[in-house]
Structure 1
Amino acid sequence: MGSGALIALVAFALLLILMTVKVVPQQSAYIIERFGKFHEVLKPGINFVIPFFDKVAYKYSLKEQAFDIPEQVCITRDNVQVIVDGVVFLQVIDAQKAAYGISNYVFAVTQLSQTTMRSEMGKIELDRTFEERTTINRAVVEAIDEASQHWGVKVLRYEIKNITPPQSVLHAMEKQMQAEREKRARILQSEGEKQSAINIAEGQKQKVVLESEGIKLQQINTAEGQAEAIRAVAVATADGIKAVASSIKNEGGYEAIQLRVAEQLVEQFGKLAKTNNTLILPANFGDMASIVSGALAVIKQQDAKAPGNPTPIK
């Protein structure tokens, strides 16, 4: 046997070894077909197959994978067209079903995601689409899961990436939000003005109350002061009268009273003469002594009636 034949024999042996041994990476699955029929699923690690009889028909990654859902036009419940796109996360859990249950599970999941999205968007109004993202995502996942049970894949989650309304709708929404903000600002301003008016009225009320209390205290103090002044004047007058009465009883007191009465009569008649054009005088005005004696007689009578003066003045 020549060297060339030996080399060919060695190469053929190596090729058989390579075709017999299959190394499957971690988180991967290989589908083996024997004579065109499913035979087995190779697990991660070293596996042995029969060359020329067995072949690797499909290779699947068992890792979680993300696929973009192309944007599409959806019509909301209030007949507004919006452009929606998303991303779906799925994982192959049964390589045999993924190989023979459907021809292309990625395409099927994409189409089902789009149709479910259009259906869910048609159930809600435009204003709620941004609030109901979680509900829409959950509905898409449930719909795909129900249909993909025979596909060997598991849809883990679905997320809406963008919801784009028409420009006219965006302008209208912007005006609506601006009007809403202005409304809240006016409400806050009116509440502030209301509270300010209440505070001002309350302050004026307290001011009036305090002023009235002050006036009341002032009037009370004034009345008490006037009463004290009247009492002081009365006491002083009483003391003066007592002093005059005591002086009259002394020697020369009666003559002093006569002189004082005469002076008072002359002074009062003088004032009458200044203020009136007509002056009426008593018949005995020329006899001043008799007039003074008459006045003193009245004083004597009153003094005699007083309890403290039983003896009249002589």
Structure 2
Amino acid sequence: MYDVMYIPFFNMFQMVMLGVRNAALPVARINVPKQNLRSSLIYNGVQVRCKGYAPINLGVMFVPEQEAWIVERFGKFHRILQPGLNFLIPVVDRIKYVQSLKEIAIDIPSQSAITSDNVTLSLDGVLFLRILDAFKASYGVEDPEFSITQLAQTTMRSELGKLSLDKIFHERESLNVSIVESINKAALSWGITCLRYEIRDIILPARVKEAMQMQVEAERRKRATILESEGVRTADINVAEGKRQSRILASEADKQEQINRAAGEATAIMAVAEAKAKGIKLVAESLKSQVSGLTAVSFKCVV
């Protein structure tokens, strides 16, 4: 009977000592893919993201703001520790994941893509995301950042294949929005939301650059020719308009001169006519006075 009771007690003592020994192990750093800007640490099987240390279960835990600690009990998910004071059972409870709820920027490495007009180009970008559900981010995907990076690369290639090279440069903002919407649809089950995506650099092949440079130069020459012809046309129009205005002004001057001449002649004729009329009137009055005098003389002689 004592042997039966002793064996479970001894096994439990071994488990406690093993947990204490493991709690004293140093933190081991592992290699992280280059596109992942955040460091990952493994401590006693505990994966810690965005932290330089692995939390040890001391019974009384203080969780920082904007962090979520995933606790497992006997290897099964138990609960999520919220910021502030939390109590755990040593050895029994284990902190499995530490998720940061802050906005994170991930560098998307350069990759090649083919546009709808069969132009191969290389481009990279920056992805801004945030963890909304710490449980899904911990158990829904093995490595959330690596998965979201791969998803961003494939989505970017897919969206670029729908546009031509000219539209990529002109509709860059709408392209970023389309990539964000596609990523959010796929990453919904991971508890991650993509806030925004920014295309950083677009690298074109040398031949495409030369062709675009030639096109730009041809467009500039075309604009210069158009501007020159517009200048000549405007100059000709201005000259013709000047001649027209000059002729109009000359004809107006001739017309006014003729009017003035006619008015002068009419005035002269009127003056002559008035002078003649006055002369005739004076002659008539003189004759009338003479006739009246002769009549009076004749009347006196008769008397």
| Residue 143 (structure 2) aligned to one of 86, 104, 111 | 104
Match of 1:293 in 2: none
Report if aligned partners of 2:105, 2:129 keep a CA contact under 8 Å in 1: yes
Q: Supply the AA of the counterpart residue of 2:119.
A: V
Matched, 1:135 2:158: no
CA–CA distance in structure 2, aligned partners of residues 157 and 78 of structure 1: 27
Structure 2 residue corresponding to 1:56, chosen from 81, 89, 95: 95
1:30 matched to 2:38: no
Q: Which runs of 4+ in 1 moved over 3 A?
A: 215-229
Paired position in structure 1 for 2:12: none
Aligned to 1:215: 254
Map Cα deviations across residues 217-269 of structure 1 (whole Å, 9 max, x no partner): 4456567778859x98xx9xxx9xxxxxxxxxxxxxxxxxxxxxxxxxxxxxx
How does the TM-score come out when normalised to structure 1? 0.64
The 5 A counterparts of 1:270-289 are none
The root-mean-square deviation of aligned C-alpha atoms, in Å, is 3.2
1:70 aligns with 2:122: no
The verdict on how the C-alpha distance between 1:220 and 1:95 changes in structure 2, with shifts beyond 3 A counting, is: closer
Residue among 131, 137, 142 paired with 1:92: 131
Question: Which range moves more in the overlay, 168-177 or 36-45?
Answer: 168-177
Question: 1: CA distance between counterparts of 2:209 and 2:176?
Answer: 23
C-alpha distance 37-226 of structure 1, shift in aligned 2 (>3 A): closer
Could you give the per-residue CA deviations for residues 190-219 of structure 1, whole angstroms, max 9, x where no partner exists? 223222222221221121222233334445
**Is 1:185 paired with 2:199?**
no
Q: Alpha carbons of 1:48 and 1:208: their partners in 2 closer, same or farther (altered >3 Å)? A: same
- SS of the residue 2:170 aligns to: coil
2:193 equivalent to 1:175: no
Q: Does residue 144 of the first structure (1) align with residue 183 of the second (2)?
A: yes
Paired amino acid for 1:59: V
d(CA) in 1 for partners of 2:189, 2:136? 6
Partner SS for 1:96 = helix
- Tell me, in whole angstroms, the C-alpha distance in 2 between the residues paired with 1:84 and 1:31: 37
Deviations 1:63-120 (A, max 9, x none): 0101011100011111111101111111111111111111001111111111111111
Q: Which amino acid is the alignment partner of residue 55 of structure 1?
A: R
What is the aligned counterpart of 1:163 among 202, 219, 231? 202
1:79 aligns with 2:113: no
**Alpha-carbon separation, structure 1, partners of 2:264 and 2:178:** 91
Cα distance in structure 2, aligned partners of 1:159 and 1:220:
79
Compared CA separation, residues 218 and 137, structure 1 to 2 (3 A) = closer
Aligned length: 227
Tell me the secondary structure at the aligned position of residue 180 of structure 1: helix
Q: Does 1:113 align with 2:157?
A: no
**Contact 2:144–2:190 (Cα < 8 Å) also in 1:** yes
Higher helix share goes to which structure?
A: 1
Q: Larger Rg: 1 or 2?
A: 1
Structure 1 residues 40, 225: closer, same or farther in 2, change over 3 A? closer
DSSP-derived class of the 1:199 partner: helix
Cα distance in 2 for residues equivalent to 1:139 and 1:216: 74
Cα contact 2:69–2:82 (8 A) shared by 1: yes
